Amino acid sequence: MVWLRCSWVRLQHHNLVDADTDIKLSRLALYISLIYNMGMAARQKTKFAILGLLSLKPMSGYDIKKLVDVGLSHFWNENYGQIYPTLDALVKEQLVTKKGDQSRGKRRRNVYAITRKGRLAVQNWQLEPTEPPIVRNELQLKLFLGGNLTKRQRIQLIEAYQVQQQAALDDYRQSEQVLRNAVEKGEYIEELDEILDLTSSNPKDRAKQCNIFYLTLRHGIRTTEARLAWCREVLENLANGP
């Protein structure tokens, strides 16, 4: 934001801005700075997310996306537009290495492996205080602005959200049973096997990783259960309230 501040100072020096404009420019500079810093923070989180996944096992960009989509989707997401530029940056920072691979007749791909420097960076990041999650809930925003809707429209809004959350909870419950079978009985379905193949082939490590998957999934289950309880509370309030 140096360019904006320098231009602002030059205008002030030549008395080309009045007090009102000065305040507006100050607010604009602050707003742009906040947006810029939020973008930087998001990129840092993507950096450590990818670096952390590579600490499990060397992977290609495709492998990383697959693991995110199947194993982390209830609490994290990354797209190819974020993954590949971040991998290039990690290579430049010497946090990972890149090596071409063409095995078992498959098309050539790049496989990324974490370095000692990268592993230390991940461990340091894991020990840092965690920032509060940034919440963007469209349903809550619509309800907050729902004073212009009829009571029936507000009820329909919540009922649709309730159906959505119940479907998510049903999916989580199925995944929960799969993970419990893996941890307690050593039973792995094909889809889970594919995920674990990306992390480790050691039986003890696979069981440990399944338990960690289970614990993160429990957070998703508890959160969704709380949303459904809130839906019931809101629907009762709307039915009997103003």
CATH number at residue 24: 1.10.10.10
Q: Give the pLDDT score at 222.
A: 96
20 forms beta bridges with none
133 lies in a domain? no
Rg (CA), the chain: 24
Taking CA atoms, 178 is separated from 129, 173, 175, in Å, by 32, 9, 5
Which structural domain range is residue 169 located in? 138-240
Residue % of the chain over a pLDDT of 90? 47
How many structural domains is the chain composed of?
2
User: Are the C-beta atoms of residues 113 and 97 closer than 8 Å to each other?
Assistant: yes
Assessment of whether the complete model's pTM goes beyond 0.75? no
Of the three residues 74, 95, 127, the one that is the final residue of a domain is 127
Distance CA 55, CA 114 (A): 6
The answer on 145 and 108 residing in a single domain is no
Same domain membership, residue 71 and residue 40: yes
- Same domain membership, residue 28 and residue 64: yes
Q: Is residue 201 part of a domain?
A: yes
Residue 24: CB atoms within 10 Å: 12
Choose one of 127, 161, 195: the last residue of a domain: 127
Whether 143 is in a domain gets the answer yes
pLDDT digits (tens, 9 = 90+) for 75-117: 788 888 899 999 999 999 999 999 987 665 567 789 999 999 9
Residue scoring higher pLDDT (22 or 174): 174
Q: Are 100 and 108 in contact (CB under 8 A)?
A: yes
Same structural domain, 21 and 113:
yes
Question: What percent of the chain has a predicted confidence (pLDDT) above 70?
Answer: 76
Write out pLDDT tens, residues 185-205.
888 877 777 667 656 667 777
